Amino acid sequence: MKEFKILLIIAILVIAGYYGIDIYAHHEMYGNLPKPDFHYLDLKDVNIKGDPVKGKELFQSNCQSCHSLKAEGLNAMMDAETAQNAFNVVPPDLSNLGAMLAPHFLFNFIKNPQNATKNPKFAMPPMAQLTDQHIADIVAYLQSVARKNFTGKDVLTDACTRCHSVKYQKIKAFTDEKHLKNYLGKVPPDLSLKGRSKDREYLETFINNPQSVLPGTSMPRLGLTEEATNKVISYLEEIADPHKQQRNKVGIWALIYAFIGVVLTYAWKKKIWKTVDK
């Protein structure tokens, strides 16, 4: 009984310490993050129905100079090398971004990339020649060609690796470091372990709106949907902690093993101490 009391005191102190350090102090230190806004409420609402067939033509005449759309066999008119010399970043392939970006965001983005991404230096120029109807057509086109069942890795390739390397997955950023530094002021960090060095809540808020976490940062707001954001975060977590499943499985067996040890040693102790207690 007395020993239980001692154990209880130790347990209370340890739990109080754990709560104080890892939860209370941690929270006081990093504060509350703003909630992510997947509706991009700061951007103008649109209610125009687009026509994908017209959209394709508009894409070919307005976008294909810089962007490829491999799903339809459309190659960009300039190669990656020329593009990064011109813009300091390789423009992404647009095959699947139509499904990954929120439609409402995409519309506002094409209208004014700098405003939508909250990055005044964003490399894609605004296109004054396009009317709202034109833009709606292009959005409809991009949505119609995009694959809906994309994976987290697809999001990474289409939306992130023009800037970021993922060294442990042997992914090198499509753009050279020299250009990225010119464009963004620094080489964007490697993403191999971001799924472990940051928690999910942070990643969600940061990817959703980098400025809300790091004011003045040069990473653009990308306009990913909630689904795409979650998928890319899950992917980042998976590659940062590839043995999680194995660990959980081995962990259960280890605990069973240790528990058997507790039972056996308890039985032995009971047997030996029977003689002593008398």
Partner 1 sequence: MRFIDWLDERFAIRQVFKLSMVDYKVPKNINFLWSFGMLLVFNFAILFISGLFLLMYYKPDANLAFDSVNKTIMMDVSYGWIFRHVHAVGASIIFLLMYIHIARGIYYGSYKKPREGVWLTGYILFILFSATAFTGYLLPWGQMSYWAAQTITTLFEKVPFIGEDLVIWIRGDYAIADATLTRFFALHVVFLPVLIIITIAIHLFAVRVVGSNNEDGKKIDKQKEGIPFWPVFMSKEFFVMSIFLLFFLYLVFFKFDFAMDRVNFEPANPMQTPKHIYPEWYFLAYYEVLRGFFFSQNLGLIAFLLSMILIAFLPWLDKSPIVSGKHRPLFQIAFWVFVIDFLILTILGKLPPSGVYAWIGLFASLIFFGFFISLPIISKIESKQLRKGETDERV
66 touches which of partner 1, ligand HEC, none (CB within 5 to 8 A by kind)? ligand HEC
262 touches which of ligand HEC, partner 1, none (CB within 5 to 8 A by kind)? partner 1
Q: Of 57-96, which residues contact ligand HEC (CB under 6 A)?
A: 62-63, 65-67, 87, 89, 91-92, 94
272 touches which of partner 1, ligand HEC, none (CB within 5 to 8 A by kind)? partner 1
- Output the CA–CA distances (angstroms, integers) from residue 182 to 4, 52, 67, 218, in the order listed: 65, 36, 21, 11
C-beta of 271: minimal distance to partner 1 in Å?
Answer: 8
28 touches which of ligand HEC, partner 1, none (CB within 5 to 8 A by kind)? partner 1
Q: Which H, E and C letters describe the chain, residue by residue?
A: CHHHHHHHHHHHHHHHHHHHHHHHHHHHHHCCCCCCCCCCCCCCCCCCCCCHHHHHHHHHHHCCCCCCEHHHCECCCCCHHHHHHHHCCCCCCCCCHHHHECHHHHHHHHHCHHHHHCCCCCCCCCCCCCCHHHHHHHHHHHHHHCCCCCCHHHHHHHHHCCCCCEHHHCECCCCCHHHHHHHHCCCCCCCCCHHHHCCHHHHHHHHHCHHHHCCCCCCCCCCECHHHHHHHHHHHHHHHCCCHHHHHHHHHHHHHHHHHHHHHHHHHHHHHHHHHHC
Segment interacting with ligand HEC (CB under 6 A) among 10-18, 29-37, 116-124, 247-255: 116-124
Closest CA to 163 of 150, 182, 146: 182
- The reply on whether position 179 binds ligand HEC by CB under 6 A is no
Quick one: which of 146, 220, 237, 239 contacts ligand HEC (CB under 6 A)? Answer: 220
268 touches which of partner 1, ligand HEC, none (CB within 5 to 8 A by kind)? partner 1
Nearer to partner 1, 18 or 53 (CB): 18
Nearer to ligand HEC, 15 or 214 (CB): 214
How far apart (Å, rounded) are the C-alpha atoms in residues 90 and 37? 27
- The reply on whether position 211 binds ligand HEC by CB under 6 A is no
Per-residue x/- mask for ligand HEC, residues 151 to 170, rule CB under 6 A?
Answer: ----x---xx-xxx------
C-beta of 85: minimal distance to ligand HEC in Å?
Answer: 11
- The reply on whether position 195 binds ligand HEC by CB under 6 A is no
Task: Name, in order, each residue with C-beta under 8 angstroms of 68's C-beta and a sequence gap of 6 or more.
Answer: 74, 75, 76, 93, 94, 95
- Chain residues binding partner 1 by CB under 8 A are 2-3, 6-7, 10, 13-14, 16-18, 20-22, 24-26, 28-30, 168, 189, 192-193, 196-199, 240, 242-243, 247-248, 250-251, 254-255, 258-259, 261-262, 264-266, 268-269, 271-273, 276
What is the binding site for ligand HEC (CB under 6 A)?
A: 62-63, 65-67, 87, 89, 91-92, 94, 97, 101, 109-110, 122-125, 127, 138, 155, 159-160, 162-164, 184, 186, 188-189, 191, 194, 203, 206-207, 214, 217-220, 222-224, 232
